[in-house]
Chains A and B, each alone.
Chain A
């Protein structure tokens, strides 16, 4: 479960202060798929960063499964991130000097018990995203869509209870974007995670259980999506 209380975020831009988030409150129950929408500059990515503990809020609190994370020391935060959150970035953000398999394994090496091998799971995940024959390839040898699929597999390696995705199809063409979305939704369904996805694409948001709309740093709309598309491999048909 994700809980946000009175979240504010301001940054200094030269001599002036810019308020990006002006008081955000919401809760995402376990297993829910929530889409955060808004125009460019509405604060979506900043909100996602705060949810992931990548940044510190100016005020307010974020709780993940009951644990307040906003003001934790960096090393503690890293542990929480590693074990609780899987993150899918818009620009894939793979480590260029590691192969696809090694990139997927990295969270396991950083956070899991060294005695338990993550190799089988990594291979299984890569196969499930259609990259069973590209495991030893480096990011530079993969297309954008393939890199994002590796990033998907990486996000799910530790079976995190929460997955956050920041415009996961933003840098992809329509075909690849659809394919990646399909994989994300399938993985989300099979792993049973809480999924929060930032997007400006209404089509993508149509798959979410809930739509939270931001505008100028505030929530202007927060609705359950009764007409949500089923999260099945029928994305292409839509």
Chain B
């Protein structure tokens, strides 16, 4: 069978594209936007991951790290000493929250303290100081190095004194960066590096203190100039895992598992957001291709009359689509480099690693492949319509579909719809496959693709309904409206205007950005708690048993305190077994096994305030038996019920406690955080640290902090408002990135709008010419078009904002955050969308106004 050669097909496709290059410029841009976002995200992620790997040892500051949740037992300490004696270098790093103050300010400041041995730490990488210097030269028993923001907040400078715990230290230098910042604990306050002797002298560490302990290890170098082998690292890791079974041991190649997992999840989420922009771009391509094919009906009909089969003609336009997808992809990859460079800027406060940005071939390939594939998928429906073009068009313009004989008509309809249904299935399937690849999860892929298609369908339906309503309104009020308004509204229904699809695409972008904003604002507002009079707004951490009575008395005497302090004793322990099953062998639901190593036990004679029993029965007062009441949610995760036996280990003591009750707390008391409550007797003699919460007059929290700090400098006082401020800034930082990517969807919608307006250019020119001939001024014509663009923007904005509120409300309900409709944001979003659409509309059609009537009329 004869076939149109690829060469001929490419020739026809390329020449048509060249003659329509103005129109196809927007199409290429549509694809480029989404590809840029995707390539940028994945390129940055790959670069960041490569940086983590390249600097893995520096990021850990060691070959291995062992995170301990308890102090080592004597036996374990002996084992560690033996390891040290074998040539392995070892140094402890302790991180804790505490308070610091200076003579220049009254208020103490919450700080993130990190105690190191400057002679050993770090094993890899450098602590960057200002002025430049070596840590071991400046950090001694009486000195500290501090972060710049501490100096600012406490109005200090180098050389000034700083009180931490019970000791006063001199500020020797400013710490700009530590190599293992990412591997450490979350810094809730300005960073201070202190020596181990300094920490011991400060009195901050007491048995049971809430301090994070890491041991860093450096394997002995085989010989000078010879690299440490991974085998040696693995051997040491094995040895440590046997010695410290409850510790979290990782080597430098794993970097930070939480960080790696976080990076994977973030990459997946941001990739999917980029995919939304890509899909919108592909829809734009499909709309442009449909319009293009409409204009090519004559050519298609001619070719069919000359003997071309539908498949041969489809080959030409498939090639065009492929070329457009490729060109868009290439342009997008180039833009993607810019996106890759922009992302670190948004994440600067979260990532303390200078990322070596470079071109990542895998990211480029993914961006290109996904761009081309998505474009091809979404262009299938208009391409399939080529099959329905009838050659009789050449002789008779108005060809009715139902002038066929009955059987032919049915067959034509069935094959057309069957093919289109098949195309739809292919599109959804293809989208699911792409989403699965990007997110590395079949479930996410399925949910995303169905969800996206569903949302687009709903937006399309909503847009169509609104347009229909507007048309109905127009039909009823036609003669009462000013003619410019009437004309502008009527233009929405101009033949060739794919208004509903356009509105859906634009609405999608508005919806995305508005949803992110609404959720962010609600979450951040919720963090801005103005607590009820009885809710604690000041928390006290690490109160020792010696201090508890004094602290209670002090709080009682403070005029700023408006409620009775609730104090909670905490014993650090770990779960060794449940119902005889060892911890390692337990099958847990939504409960990481490593958390079994960090369990807080508390005691109470009676049912604590704000707590109720949901199953079982509380023990009588003075009970001495080994019983435990477990929080209902925790019990579900651990798979325990009334009657189960949990074996706890605290220091060298093991407690086998029987579950006698499951409880539920109201979340408003200090005991609300207690998941495991025992009678006092089983925990007697174990190291205990007290936590407390108290409500102080918000305006006088500083007064309370000063009084506590003066009397008990080792007690950490957390002003909830300040802590929430830190969390809020992190949340805002994260949402900046999400909104940055959501903006790409808006760009895609804008490009589609511009493309659609450019596509109806000739019709508009003819309109302008006729109007001018009839006496219309340029100002009047401009008003008519502006009304058309503004109404488009208003409708898209309304649909987008309405659904944004619906989605935000649903999401916030799941997060247990309250939702409030905000008129001011709605109005702003609508105004913004209108301005954007009017600006875009005019950018795409500004030369129309200058068209001379006779030039156009002569061409007729």
Q: Measuring CB to CB, which residues of chain A are less than 8 angstroms from any residue of chain B?
A: 10-12, 45-46, 48-49, 52, 54-59, 71, 74-75, 78-79, 81-83, 87, 89, 91, 93-98, 102, 106-107, 109-114, 154, 166
Please name the residue on chain B nearest to A157 by beta carbon.
B306
Decide: B395 and A49 in contact? CB cutoff 8 A.
Answer: yes
Known: A75-B310, A83-B307, A95-B302. A114 touches B2 (CB 8 A): yes
B446 within 8 A of A: no
Please name the residue on chain B nearest to A140 by beta carbon.
B19
Decide: B400 and A12 in contact? CB cutoff 8 A.
Answer: yes
Task: Give min CB distance, B183 to chain A, whole Å.
Answer: 62
Task: Give min CB distance, B266 to chain A, whole Å.
Answer: 47
B759 within 8 A of A: no
Decide: A109 and B4 in contact? CB cutoff 8 A.
Answer: yes
Cβ-neighbour of B396 out of A49, A83, A98, A114 (below 8 A): A49
Decide: B403 and A10 in contact? CB cutoff 8 A.
Answer: yes
Q: Which of B8-16, B89-97, B249-257 contacts A (4 or more CB under 8 A)?
A: B8-16
Task: Give min CB distance, B140 to chain A, whole Å.
Answer: 82
B395-412: contact bitstring with A at CB < 8 Å (1 yes, 0 no)? 110001011110010000
Which residues of the partner chain A approach B304 to less than 8 Å between Cβ atoms? Answer: 74, 78, 81
Decide: A81 and B392 in contact? CB cutoff 8 A.
Answer: no
Known: A52-B305, A87-B305. A109 touches B5 (CB 8 A): yes
Decide: A78 and B400 in contact? CB cutoff 8 A.
Answer: no
Query: A237–B393 Cα gap in the complex (Å)?
Result: 37
Known: A12-B400, A98-B15. A74 touches B310 (CB 8 A): yes
Please name the residue on chain B nearest to A14 by beta carbon.
B400
Please name the residue on chain B nearest to A93 by beta carbon.
B302
Decide: A95 and B12 in contact? CB cutoff 8 A.
Answer: yes
B275-306: contact bitstring with A at CB < 8 Å (1 yes, 0 no)? 00000000000000000000000110011111
Decide: B395 and A46 in contact? CB cutoff 8 A.
Answer: yes
Which residues of the partner chain A approach B651 to less than 8 Å between Cβ atoms? Answer: none
Cβ-neighbour of B307 out of A45, A56, A78, A97 (below 8 A): A78
Taking A57-B405, A81-B305, A112-B2 as known contacts, 5 extra A-B pairs with beta carbons closer than 8 A to each other, sorted by chain A number, are: A11-B400, A54-B391, A74-B304, A106-B303, A110-B308
Decide: B307 and A107 in contact? CB cutoff 8 A.
Answer: yes
Please name the residue on chain A nearest to B400 by beta carbon.
A12
Which residues of the partner chain A approach B302 to less than 8 Å between Cβ atoms? Answer: 93-95
| A-B contacts at CB below 8 angstroms, number | 108
Known: A11-B400, A54-B394. A71 touches B307 (CB 8 A): no
Decide: A55 and B392 in contact? CB cutoff 8 A.
Answer: yes
Query: A216–B455 Cα gap in the complex (Å)?
Result: 54
Query: A106–B302 Cα gap in the complex (Å)?
Result: 11
Decide: A111 and B307 in contact? CB cutoff 8 A.
Answer: yes
| 10 A–B pairs (Cβ distance < 8 Å), ordered by A | A49-B392, A52-B305, A74-B387, A83-B307, A93-B394, A96-B299, A97-B12, A98-B12, A109-B4, A110-B2
Please name the residue on chain B nearest to A105 by beta carbon.
B8
B167 within 8 A of A: no
Cβ-neighbour of B306 out of A11, A45, A59, A107 (below 8 A): A107
Decide: A97 and B15 in contact? CB cutoff 8 A.
Answer: yes
Which residues of the partner chain A approach B403 to less than 8 Å between Cβ atoms? Answer: 10-12, 58
Q: Measuring CB to CB, which residues of chain B are less than 8 angstroms from any residue of chain A?
A: 1-5, 8, 11-12, 15-16, 19, 298-299, 302-312, 387, 390-392, 394-396, 400, 402-405, 408
Decide: A79 and B307 in contact? CB cutoff 8 A.
Answer: yes
Task: Give min CB distance, A106 to chain B, whole Å.
Answer: 6
Task: Give min CB distance, B323 to chain A, whole Å.
Answer: 14
Decide: B309 and A79 in contact? CB cutoff 8 A.
Answer: yes
Decide: A45 and B2 in contact? CB cutoff 8 A.
Answer: no
Query: A52–B307 Cα gap in the complex (Å)?
Result: 11
Decide: B396 and A46 in contact? CB cutoff 8 A.
Answer: yes
Known: A49-B396, A56-B405, A58-B405. A110 touches B305 (CB 8 A): no
Task: Give min CB distance, B489 to chain A, whole Å.
Answer: 26
Task: Give min CB distance, B798 to chain A, whole Å.
Answer: 36
Decide: B395 and A48 in contact? CB cutoff 8 A.
Answer: yes
Query: A166–B16 Cα gap in the complex (Å)?
Result: 27
Which residues of the partner chain B approach A56 to less than 8 Å between Cβ atoms? Answer: 404-405, 408
Task: Give min CB distance, B720 to chain A, whole Å.
Answer: 71
Query: A71–B411 Cα gap in the complex (Å)?
Result: 12
Cβ-neighbour of B2 out of A102, A111, A154 (below 8 A): A111
Please name the residue on chain A nearest to B409 by beta carbon.
A56
Which residues of the partner chain A approach B404 to less than 8 Å between Cβ atoms? Answer: 56
Query: A48–B12 Cα gap in the complex (Å)?
Result: 29
Task: Give min CB distance, B1 to chain A, whole Å.
Answer: 8
Task: Give min CB distance, A117 to chain B, whole Å.
Answer: 12
Which residues of the partner chain B approach A78 to less than 8 Å between Cβ atoms? Answer: 304, 307-310
Cβ-neighbour of A110 out of B11, B303, B396 (below 8 A): B303
Most buried by B among A10, A79, A94, A166: A79
Which residues of the partner chain B approach A110 to less than 8 Å between Cβ atoms? Answer: 2, 4, 303, 306-308, 312
Query: A12–B3 Cα gap in the complex (Å)?
Result: 36
Which residues of the partner chain A approach B400 to less than 8 Å between Cβ atoms? Answer: 11-12
Query: A214–B749 Cα gap in the complex (Å)?
Result: 55
Task: Give min CB distance, B404 to chain A, whole Å.
Answer: 6
- Name the 9 nearest CB pairs between A and B, nearest first: A82-B307, A97-B15, A55-B392, A11-B403, A54-B391, A54-B392, A111-B307, A75-B309, A49-B395
Decide: A97 and B19 in contact? CB cutoff 8 A.
Answer: yes
Known: A56-B408, A110-B2. A45 touches B310 (CB 8 A): no
Which residues of the partner chain B approach A71 to less than 8 Å between Cβ atoms? Answer: 405, 408
Task: Give min CB distance, B239 to chain A, whole Å.
Answer: 73
Task: Give min CB distance, B754 to chain A, whole Å.
Answer: 25
Which residues of the partner chain B approach A52 to less than 8 Å between Cβ atoms? Answer: 305
Query: A89–B391 Cα gap in the complex (Å)?
Result: 12
Known: A110-B2, A110-B4. A75 touches B311 (CB 8 A): yes
Please name the residue on chain B nearest to A138 by beta carbon.
B15
Task: Give min CB distance, A160 to chain B, whole Å.
Answer: 10
Which residues of the partner chain B approach A113 to less than 8 Å between Cβ atoms? Answer: 2
Which residues of the partner chain A approach B311 to less than 8 Å between Cβ atoms? Answer: 75
Which residues of the partner chain B approach A109 to less than 8 Å between Cβ atoms? Answer: 2, 4-5, 8
Cβ-neighbour of A114 out of B3, B298, B408 (below 8 A): B3
Which residues of the partner chain B approach A89 to less than 8 Å between Cβ atoms? Answer: 394-395
Which residues of the partner chain A approach B2 to less than 8 Å between Cβ atoms? Answer: 82, 109-114
Query: A192–B510 Cα gap in the complex (Å)?
Result: 67
Known: A10-B403, A98-B15. A81 touches B394 (CB 8 A): no
Query: A11–B391 Cα gap in the complex (Å)?
Result: 16
Which residues of the partner chain A approach B405 to less than 8 Å between Cβ atoms? Answer: 56-59, 71
Decide: B310 and A166 in contact? CB cutoff 8 A.
Answer: no
Please name the residue on chain B nearest to A86 by beta carbon.
B306
Which residues of the partner chain A approach B307 to less than 8 Å between Cβ atoms? Answer: 78-79, 81-83, 107, 110-111
Cβ-neighbour of A93 out of B4, B298, B390 (below 8 A): B298
Which residues of the partner chain B approach A93 to less than 8 Å between Cβ atoms? Answer: 298, 302, 305, 394
Query: A91–B307 Cα gap in the complex (Å)?
Result: 18
Which residues of the partner chain A approach B16 to less than 8 Å between Cβ atoms? Answer: 97
Query: A12–B409 Cα gap in the complex (Å)?
Result: 13
Please name the residue on chain A nearest to B299 by beta carbon.
A95
Query: A79–B2 Cα gap in the complex (Å)?
Result: 9
Which residues of the partner chain B approach A112 to less than 8 Å between Cβ atoms? Answer: 2
Most buried by A among B304, B311, B395: B395
Query: A10–B403 Cα gap in the complex (Å)?
Result: 7
Which residues of the partner chain A approach B19 to less than 8 Å between Cβ atoms? Answer: 96-97
Please name the residue on chain A nearest to B412 by beta carbon.
A74
Cβ-neighbour of A54 out of B299, B303, B305, B408 (below 8 A): B305
Query: A82–B305 Cα gap in the complex (Å)?
Result: 7
Decide: B396 and A45 in contact? CB cutoff 8 A.
Answer: yes
Query: A81–B308 Cα gap in the complex (Å)?
Result: 9
Which residues of the partner chain B approach A154 to less than 8 Å between Cβ atoms? Answer: 306
Task: Give min CB distance, A211 to chain B, whole Å.
Answer: 21
Query: A15–B764 Cα gap in the complex (Å)?
Result: 31
Query: A131–B39 Cα gap in the complex (Å)?
Result: 53
Please name the residue on chain B nearest to A10 by beta carbon.
B403
Task: Give min CB distance, A90 to chain B, whole Å.
Answer: 9
Please name the residue on chain A nearest to B14 by beta carbon.
A97
Query: A49–B306 Cα gap in the complex (Å)?
Result: 13
